[in-house]
Amino acid sequence: MINTFEVEETNKMIEKENLDVRTITMGISLLDCIDADLGRLRENIYHKIYEAAKDLVETGNEISREYGIPIVNKRISVTPIALIGGAACKTVEDYASIAATLDQVAHEVGVNFLGGYSALVSKGMTAADELLIRSIPLALSTTERVCSSVNLGSSRTGINMDAVKLMGDIIKQTAAYTKEADSLGCAKLVVFCNAPDDNPFMAGAFHGVTEADKIINVGVSGPGVVKTALEKVRGESFEVLCETIKKTAFKVTRVGQLVAQEASKMLGVPFGIVDLSLAPTPAIGDSVADILCEIGLEYAGAPGTTAALALLNDHVKKGGVMASSFVGGLSGAFIPVSEDQGMIDAVTAGALTLEKLEAMTSVCSVGLDMIAVPGDTSASTLSGIIADEMAIGMVNNKTTAVRIIPVIGKDIGETVEFGGLLGYAPIMPVNKFSCEEFINRGGRIPAPIHSFKN
Amino acid sequence: MKKTIITVVGKDTVGIIAKVCTYLADHGINILDISQTIVQGYFNMMMIVDTNHMDKKFGDMTEELAMLGESIGVVIKCQKEEIFDQMHRI
């Protein structure tokens, strides 16, 4: 039988160390909503999502009450809208009107984000894909809860450099369209290489075409729990350090598995995956950077950071994999800047640069995430940063992403405030040298060789 | 059997156990196990209870016990057993 020590340990994790389930995300396929008439298409989308997700928020709250574990977000991901709107949409306004429908239904079922205003263009763009991408600035500036993502490359197909170039412009435009709100639109827009079909985390969540009609995916969190566990093994060897991370990740993931199973049962929707990520928030003690400091670094970004992050990421996976029957999504440590107080401190102290962050992304789960740069950064420079990140993902067979915010009207030394879970960020300096001729070449970078790994 | 873990934490005072147990008895909740300690004046109790024949919804019980706790100056939490089982047992 369960003993007092075990009950206390669990409750301490929840109450003092910010253990929570970060998100229950319901994936909903919209393929059966497709219609050549825009009005009917929007109506179909509204009804399908509303019917599937009307109990999602209440179910999440009920599970939270029964087990005493906070479930922070309830969200929805849908089939990439470029595929759904292809037949009906002839203009960017047509596509943006679908975003308006998504925003409306997100409000009505009470979810805080809905992801899937997306296009998958890793090899080439259809006319519909391009139209959707061009509609992103309008869609994100006229909606509140819709998130957008674009997959620009993969290890199997290479990198679509035409789309990379286009996305540099689109990010700039989105920043300009939402300049009154510190370019907040860009915080809801992410580009990927090797985007997973079952990611429950925003802004990159979408419901892949290989998925079932409806699915429940759960993302756990718990950087604070890992940090507290590591405080007890200060000065010990790497063996002890890694074992501690594994055991802690196991416990954290078990909670995610339980919540996913319960939600799946109560909603009558199959359980998809648990995403094993360590997802920070701006709350004190809920930081991945603090774990890196606990491992032995003065600040995140100091020499040794990449190695520390690599071992953290790997052992979170090793511990978590056995705790869940299905693991998927992004799974690993997230290193967003604005959403992590430790990262913000490291940037402010001058310990962490964009280049070091790029190196860190080659060993962890996501990529350059929630990074604010000066508003006058050129579109081609943004494309260059994206291309570098895509290349890391393509060559290493992993997911990488870029969520970068050129904050219009702000420069290095200033701070931008996004509010809530998105946090705040100091504006980071960007390398000033040009890559314009490289980006302007056009075409695509071929897939890498999958042998002779050195 | 559906088991629930009830934890009661707070400053020690007269009648904490009596009040909690009375509530449980009134609503058909059977106590399976109690362990209790007082450390430096702080009362710490864990109960394992059987909620199979409970006459109300889980959420209502949680809320009412939390309110009862507030009235006697302690924090009362109810959680289904599975969360602890999942985390601490393979």
Q: What is the pLDDT of residues A140-177, one digit of tens each?
A: 999 999 999 999 999 999 999 999 999 999 999 999 99
**Residue A217 is which amino acid?**
N
Q: Which of A177-181, A267-271, A368-372, A422-426 has the lowest mean pLDDT?
A: A422-426
Name the pLDDT band for A277 (thresholds 50, 70, 90). confident
The CATH number of the domain covering residues in A22-193: 3.20.70.20
pLDDT computed for residue A383 by the predictor? 97
- Check pLDDT > 80 for residue B1: no
Region label for A434, one of left (φ > 0), alpha (ψ between -120 and 50) or beta (otherwise): beta
pLDDT tens across B10-62, in order? 999 899 999 999 999 999 999 999 999 888 888 999 999 999 999 989 999 99
Contact yes or no for B77 and A4 at CB 8 A: no
Take residue A72 and report the two structure tokens written for it: 């922070």
Q: How far A116 CA lies from chain B's nearest CA (Å)?
A: 32
CATH of domain A222-444: 3.20.70.20
How many other β-carbons are positioned within 10 Å of the β-carbon of residue A449?
A: 8
* Residue A115 in this model has a pLDDT that exceeds 80: yes
Whole-number pLDDT of residue B10: 92
List B residues 28-67 in contact with A (Cβ-Cβ < 8 A).
33, 35, 37, 44, 46, 48, 58-59, 62
**Domain extent listing, chain A:** 22-193, 222-444
CA-based Rg of chain A, rounded to a whole angstrom? 21
Provide CB contacts within 8 A for B18, sequence distance 6+: none
Asked if A343 and A352 count as a contact pair (C-beta separation under 8 A), the reply is: yes
Determine the residue type at A235: G
Cα distances (angstroms) measured from residue A32 to each of A47, A62, A214: 12, 30, 12
- Going by their DSSP bridges, the two strands A189-193 and A214-220 should be labelled as unpaired
State the burial class of residue A394 (Cβ atoms within 10 Å of its Cβ: 0-12, 13-18, 19+). Answer: buried
- Tell me, yes or no, if the pTM score tops 0.80: yes
Indicate the residue of B44, B79, B88 with minimum beta-carbon distance to A67.
Answer: B79
Mean pLDDT, rounded, for A122-129: 96
User: Nearest C-alpha of chain B: how many angstroms from A12?
Assistant: 12
Closest CA in chain A for residue B57: A66
B86 Cα to chain A: minimum distance (Å): 6
Which band of pLDDT confidence, cut at 50, 70 and 90, is reported for residue A180? very high
Q: What is residue A454's predicted lDDT score, i.e. its pLDDT?
A: 72
A423 confidence band (pLDDT: 50, 70, 90): confident
- Sheet with strand B30-39: strands edge to edge: B30-39, B42-50, B3-11, B74-80
Name the residue among B51, B74, B70, B44 with its Cα closest to residue A3. Answer: B44
- Give A327's DSSP letter: E
Number of H helices, E strands in chain A: 15, 14
Rounded distance, CA A143 to CA A284, Å? 30
CB within 8 Å: B87 and A255: yes
Cβ of B86 and A68 within 8 Å? no
The verdict on a CB contact (< 8 Å) between A67 and B87 is no
The residue with greater pLDDT, A330 or A77, is A77
Beta bridge partners of B74: B10
Burial degree of A129 (CB within 10 A; 0-12, 13-18, 19+): buried
User: What is the pLDDT confidence band of residue A5, given thresholds at 50, 70 and 90?
Assistant: confident
Residue pointed to by tokens 């511990």: A319
Q: Which residue intervals of A232-339 are DSSP H helices?
A: 238-267, 288-295, 305-323
Q: A392: closest CA among A427, A364, A428?
A: A364
ipTM of the complex, rounded to two decimals: 0.89
Looking at chain A, the whole-number percentage of residues with pLDDT higher than 70 is: 100
Q: How confident is the model at residue A399 (pLDDT cuts 50, 70, 90)?
A: very high
Band of the pLDDT at B90, cuts 50, 70, 90?
confident
Q: Distances from the Cα of A446 to the Cαs of A153, A413, A449, A454, B53, in angstroms? A: 10, 39, 9, 19, 65
Which residue stretches of A272-378 are H helix?
A: 288-295, 305-323, 341-348, 354-361
| Nearest chain A residue (CA) to B77 | A68
Comparing CA positions, the residue from A49, A53, A43 lying closest to residue A30 is A49
Kind plus residue range of the DSSP H or E element containing A103: helix A92-109
Sheet strands (E) in A16-56: 21-28
Identify the band that residue A71 occupies on the pLDDT scale cut at 50, 70 and 90: very high
pLDDT greater at residue B2 or residue A130: A130
Check pLDDT > 90 for residue A377.
Answer: yes
Over the stretch A11-42, which tens digit does the pLDDT of each residue have?
A: 999 988 889 999 999 999 999 999 999 999 99
Task: Give the Cα separation of B41 and B27 in Å (integer).
Answer: 30
Query: Which H or E element spans position A437?
Result: helix A436-439
Q: Tell which CATH architecture fits domain B3-80.
A: 2-Layer Sandwich (3.30)
